[in-house]
Amino acid sequence: MTLKIHIEEGAPPYEQVRAQISEQARSGELPVGHRLPTVRGLAESLGLAANTVAKAYRALETDGVIETRGRNGTFVAAAGSAAEREAAAAAQAYAERVRRLGLDEDAALSAVRNALRAAYGG
């Protein structure tokens, strides 16, 4: 696993760690079941605070990309198909929510486009 943190970039270091691990898991560079470094070990190798890496790991676990198995360590849990299932479930929940709120399809799609632009920096 190779991660590079660019302090001069606008993205916070924890987000850079999260995004790089997520992308490497999605691409298969980090295969399902691959054991990740400990929070302290990764923090030390990147020159970051342990809390920064812990925040990234928590976000990745929430996203279903990694799983923590107690004292056994942290492992890559999701490949592309699992991430796609998670995205589909989130999209379904969103669609149900905006319908209950009374938004029409155009307004709902506009909100999604704006959110995606913000998330992907576009």
Q: What is the pTM of this model?
A: 0.66
Structure tokens at 35: 């054991």
Cβ atoms of 77 and 69 closer than 8 Å:
no
3-state secondary structure 20-41: HHHHHHHHCCCCCCCEECCHHH
Cβ atoms of 91 and 82 closer than 8 Å:
no
How many CB atoms are closer than 10 A to CB 9?
10
Structure tokens at 39: 């929070």
Structure tokens at 56: 């990234």
Contact partners, residue 37, CB within 8 Å, separation at least 6:
1, 45
Residue by residue, pLDDT tens for the chain (122 residues) are 889 898 877 799 999 999 999 999 888 898 888 999 999 999 999 999 999 999 999 999 988 899 998 889 999 986 556 667 777 778 888 999 999 999 999 999 999 999 999 988 87
